[in-house]
Chains A and B, each alone.
Chain A
Amino acid sequence: MSASANSATAWAEQFHAFERNGAAGAPQWLANLRRSAFGAFERAGFPTARRGNEPWKYTNVRPIAESVFTIAEPNAEASVDLAPYELPCPRVHRLTFVDGRYAAHLSTEPASEAELRSGALWRGGDGPVVGRLADAVEYRVPLAQERLGSLASAEDDAFTALNTAFLRDGAFVHVPAGAVVPEPIHLLFIATGRSAAATHPRALISADADSSATVLMSFESLDGGAYFTNAVTEAIVGPGANLRLCALQRESAGAFHIASTRIRQARGSRVSSVVVDLGGRLSRREISAALEEPGAEVSLCGLYYGDGERHMDNRAFVDHAAPEATSSEIYKGVLDGASRGVFCGGALARPGAQKTVARQTNKTLLLSPGAEADSQPKLEIFADDVSCTHGSAVGQPDADALFYLKSRGIGADAALALLARGFMSEVIAAIEDGAVRQRVEDAVAARLGGGA
């Protein structure tokens, strides 16, 4: 039997065990959602880069397909020093998950049993609801049933299907209409790093009309095993709402990180997303925004740093389904060692999406002879009154700039790191929340070295 067939059997056995144990007692709608998702996974199987499978042309997931991963069995009382992961601000709404399971003692939102039971909490009142997805399901919050899986379909790809099949816990964020949340909402996913462990974190974010919030999702690890994180996020953004998303990925050097984020935007809403990939052996991050009503605006930014043999695949796609919407994609990569960075951008202007403005930029800095950059900025335009551009550039650091820094007494390595950070600063500057931006800046500085 082939390695991937082995792994397929292992997934099936795990799913049946999960249905009997971990998932038992779930409401019927969730049991059905899981079951049909697993069916979709079994039908599709893991994607391969065989001819004609464009989305997977550059990323080979065989190491994932051929391994046997088991659902991480977390230690609920795990003692973790949060200091390195905390946001530098006095107030934060934090939910912490260790190996995919909610850790109450590491979270700031330990809602009491009474609060959970009272419908008032889930309605949000003036403030946001930042809670466990498992609680939202258990206490029959209508929004959870209505919106879970509404954007990320198990039919999309095998990874979303697996995440949905093993859906157990995650974050449920609801910002009620008109609520403005000044402090960041921090969803912290910590992997203890045991090899062959799989987690399937899920986040459901609803930002209702005219609300405003910042959500940071950070992925951290305590140890360097070959574990597998498979995250799915759905964000539903109401009319006039303003949602700022940031993802900071610092998985261990042996880890696999697959993440998919789907956003749906209503009239006049605004979403800004910044993704930062600094870790993992193989990472693939897909983000897509559907601008379904006029006046929606989205900015998708990303930066990725690779060294060693790291492989990073970033994909950003905007669907202009309504007129007068604006989108921009700015992705920047710095590639060292024998790393490989892939970017695939896309903007679709559907028939009738007049006055669409869509911009795409991908720039990659190659620092070493073994690094490889693949870039694919795509445009599909079916409306004439549009302004759509894309640009892509691959090159090495400017020799004059390096010389200038060296002539000022800065060593070659430090000079390169300085230039690389300067190159990335455009993306980091797109993070609006000061504390989140500081956290990302520190993480990038720590990764690249070259002084603060």
Chain B
Amino acid sequence: MTTATNRAVRELAEQSYQYGWTTDVEEESVPPGLNEDIVRWISARKGEPEWLLEWRLRAFRHFMTLLDDARLPAWANVSHPPVDFQAIRYYAAPKAAAELSSLDEVDSEILRTYEKLGIPLEEQKRLSGVAVDAIFDSVSVMTTAKETLAKYGVIFSSVSAAVQEHPDLVRKYLGSVVPYSDNFYAALNAAVFSDGSFVYIPPGVRCPLELSTYFRINAQESGQFERTLIIADKGAYASYLEGCSAPMRDENQLHAAVVELVALDDAEIKYATIQNWYPGDENGKGGIYNFVTKRGKCAGARSRISWTQVETGSAITWKYPSVILQGDGSTGEFYSVALTKGRQQADTGTKMTHIGKNTSSRIISKGISAGRGNNTYRGLVKVLPNAENAVNYTQCDSLLIGDQCGAHTVPYIEAQNRSASVEHEASTTRVSEDQIFYCQQRGLTREAAQSVIVNGFVREVVKRLPLEFSVEADRLLEVNLEGTVG
């Protein structure tokens, strides 16, 4: 390896995390530990109806069975010490942070937090065409632009508020895509989920604003277990983006979220994630364990769901945003950039389940491994016997920067219908010397050449992000790749 790349890699590995400060705010929290009382307490604290408490308790019992039988998921290509589920605080919230009506009521420390993170909660910034739900530890502190959205009949609130205000909708769809029994962490989430966003777009409405949630973990020893539910009714359209960050701490914190999307006939949901949880230091100390279940259901005919993710943070990422293509003619898409450096480990990918006729799916995954990072693409494309004319195209490419990292590809294809056309292509390479030489000939420095090439490598995914956020993604990748990309 050349000295320039060597230096670049070292700089990359030493690149510090910019969102690692804490907010000094008075928090209300429960003692660490997981038991039935905690589940009941969370439910009572939120004034939840009986059916929801029952559902949480069923999930809790299921989770405890899994835990007792030691049926923790062990198949992912990640390694970490066992998580002590009794050492986590399952609820932490800034005091007096119930649903607020105006910005003036939000704790000024919290406002400053979001300001520092560059998240527009203030009135004048709402003109930027974005509605934001700001989640601080376990609760939603503020949802902006509610009035504008209400004019269109769009419901955008925290899940806690939706449980109170739209119980029928929540009851109908909660757990309909990711049941509590889906997997280990989904069961934990269903038992103790605290907050998250709820979106409902009525039939025929094209949501006028980009919807966004910003998740911030602040409290120590706490875990964040948010649950997001987005429903696009017939012919509706929504574009949604989530971002996240957390303070730098030596201990690992658990983030086990569940996101459910439901698209009815002719509806379209675009869901984008810019994930920047604290990745731990260069020796792998601290950082967030990001064990997330995300799944969308194309329930209606001709519906579309598209996942775009830029994963740069977390010590460990374990995440497979998937689409169930149930409606005839439905489409699922997955675009991903995952960057691991330092000692980060990412095992991410998608699952496309073709059930309806004439369904199509497209998977573009770009993994970048640097430092001592390990990056795994794991995906399943399944075509069921009745899914006539299913089409899938998958491309997953890995880029290696340095000789201490790893890049792995584990695709599964299961075709049970002969009319299926399933294509998978993958490559693993480093930045080619020929490409660099070509750029250098044109007067670029080595670092600038690498930058151009890496940007080109991820372009196909980043360009899928809503305009308002592609800038943020670019900035994040640039910060993370600084040194490598010059």
| Pairwise interchain contact B1-A389, C-beta atoms closer than 8 A | no
Q: Which of B74, B418, B429 has most chain A Cβ within 10 Å?
A: B418
| Pairwise interchain contact A378-B410, C-beta atoms closer than 8 A | yes
* Interface bits A339-380 vs B (CB < 8 Å: 1, else 0): 000000000000110100000000010111101111111111
| Pairwise interchain contact B411-A376, C-beta atoms closer than 8 A | yes
| Pairwise interchain contact A378-B401, C-beta atoms closer than 8 A | no
List the one stretch of B130-138, B314-322, B324-332, B420-428 in contact with chain A: B420-428
B417 at the interface (CB under 8 A from A): yes
Candidates A354, A364, A368, A389; contact of B415 at CB < 8 Å: A364
A contact residues around B410 at 8 Å (CB): 376, 378
A381 to B426 CA separation, bound complex (whole angstroms): 13
A127 to B217 CA separation, bound complex (whole angstroms): 73
Interface of A is mostly: strand
| Pairwise interchain contact B412-A374, C-beta atoms closer than 8 A | yes
Q: If the complex has contacts A372-B414, A386-B400, A388-B429, are A380 and B406 also in contact, measured as CB distance less than 8 A?
A: yes
A387 to B404 CA separation, bound complex (whole angstroms): 16
B contact residues around A375 at 8 Å (CB): 411-413, 415, 424
Closest residue on chain A to residue B375 by CB atoms: A381
Interface residue range, chain A: 35 or more
B458 at the interface (CB under 8 A from A): no
A63 at the interface (CB under 8 A from B): no
A54 at the interface (CB under 8 A from B): yes
- Smallest Cβ distance from B3 to chain A, in angstroms? 15
* Interface bits B380-413 vs A (CB < 8 Å: 1, else 0): 0000010000000000001011111111111111
Q: Which of B1, B420, B426 has most chain A Cβ within 10 Å?
A: B426
Q: Which of A351, A367, A395 has most chain B Cβ within 10 Å?
A: A395
| Pairwise interchain contact A382-B406, C-beta atoms closer than 8 A | yes
- Smallest Cβ distance from A402 to chain B, in angstroms? 13
| Pairwise interchain contact B415-A390, C-beta atoms closer than 8 A | no
| Pairwise interchain contact B418-A366, C-beta atoms closer than 8 A | yes
| Pairwise interchain contact A396-B418, C-beta atoms closer than 8 A | yes
A contact residues around B421 at 8 Å (CB): 393-396
| Pairwise interchain contact A386-B417, C-beta atoms closer than 8 A | no
B contact residues around A376 at 8 Å (CB): 410-413
| Pairwise interchain contact B420-A390, C-beta atoms closer than 8 A | no
- Smallest Cβ distance from A62 to chain B, in angstroms? 20
B65 at the interface (CB under 8 A from A): no
A36 at the interface (CB under 8 A from B): no
| Pairwise interchain contact B422-A379, C-beta atoms closer than 8 A | no
B contact residues around A373 at 8 Å (CB): 413-415
- Smallest Cβ distance from A300 to chain B, in angstroms? 18
| Pairwise interchain contact B403-A383, C-beta atoms closer than 8 A | yes
- Smallest Cβ distance from A109 to chain B, in angstroms? 44
Q: Which of A54, A384, A385, A393 has most chain B Cβ within 10 Å?
A: A384
A contact residues around B412 at 8 Å (CB): 374-376
- Smallest Cβ distance from A207 to chain B, in angstroms? 31
| Pairwise interchain contact A386-B430, C-beta atoms closer than 8 A | yes
A376 to B426 CA separation, bound complex (whole angstroms): 12
| Pairwise interchain contact A394-B411, C-beta atoms closer than 8 A | no
Interface size on B, residues (CB 8 A): 36
B51 at the interface (CB under 8 A from A): no
A contact residues around B430 at 8 Å (CB): 384-386
A388 to B417 CA separation, bound complex (whole angstroms): 30
A391 at the interface (CB under 8 A from B): yes
A contact residues around B403 at 8 Å (CB): 351-352, 354, 383-385
- Smallest Cβ distance from A419 to chain B, in angstroms? 14
A364 to B423 CA separation, bound complex (whole angstroms): 11
A384 to B412 CA separation, bound complex (whole angstroms): 24
Q: If the complex has contacts A52-B74, A354-B403, A393-B422, are A378 and B408 also in contact, measured as CB distance less than 8 A?
A: yes
B contact residues around A7 at 8 Å (CB): none
- Smallest Cβ distance from A385 to chain B, in angstroms? 6
A163 to B425 CA separation, bound complex (whole angstroms): 37
| Pairwise interchain contact A379-B409, C-beta atoms closer than 8 A | yes
| Pairwise interchain contact B422-A392, C-beta atoms closer than 8 A | yes
| Pairwise interchain contact B411-A392, C-beta atoms closer than 8 A | yes
- Smallest Cβ distance from B312 to chain A, in angstroms? 20
A373 to B382 CA separation, bound complex (whole angstroms): 10
B contact residues around A384 at 8 Å (CB): 1, 400-403, 405, 430
A90 to B415 CA separation, bound complex (whole angstroms): 45
Q: If the complex has contacts A377-B411, A381-B407, A386-B430, are A369 and B417 also in contact, measured as CB distance less than 8 A?
A: yes
B128 at the interface (CB under 8 A from A): no
A contact residues around B74 at 8 Å (CB): 52
Closest residue on chain B to residue A372 by CB atoms: B416
Candidates A52, A385, A391; contact of B424 at CB < 8 Å: A391
Interface positions of B from 160 to 217, Cβ below 8 Å from A: none
A365 to B114 CA separation, bound complex (whole angstroms): 55
A38 to B419 CA separation, bound complex (whole angstroms): 46
| Pairwise interchain contact A381-B428, C-beta atoms closer than 8 A | yes
A contact residues around B385 at 8 Å (CB): 369
A42 to B426 CA separation, bound complex (whole angstroms): 40
Q: If the complex has contacts A373-B413, A381-B400, A384-B400, are A389 and B427 also in contact, measured as CB distance less than 8 A?
A: yes
B positions within 8 Å CB-CB of A: 1, 74-75, 385, 398, 400-430
Apart from A377-B424, A378-B408, what are 15 other A-B pairs with CB-CB below 8 Å? A351-B403, A351-B404, A366-B420, A374-B414, A374-B415, A375-B412, A378-B410, A379-B398, A381-B400, A381-B407, A384-B1, A384-B430, A392-B422, A394-B413, A396-B419
Question: What are 26 A-B contacts with C-beta separation under 8 Å?
Answer: A52-B74, A351-B403, A351-B404, A366-B417, A372-B415, A372-B416, A373-B414, A377-B424, A378-B409, A378-B410, A379-B407, A379-B408, A379-B428, A381-B398, A385-B1, A385-B430, A386-B400, A387-B427, A387-B429, A389-B425, A389-B428, A390-B425, A391-B423, A394-B420, A394-B422, A395-B421
Q: A-B pairs with the 3 shortest C-beta distances? A: A366-B418, A384-B400, A375-B413
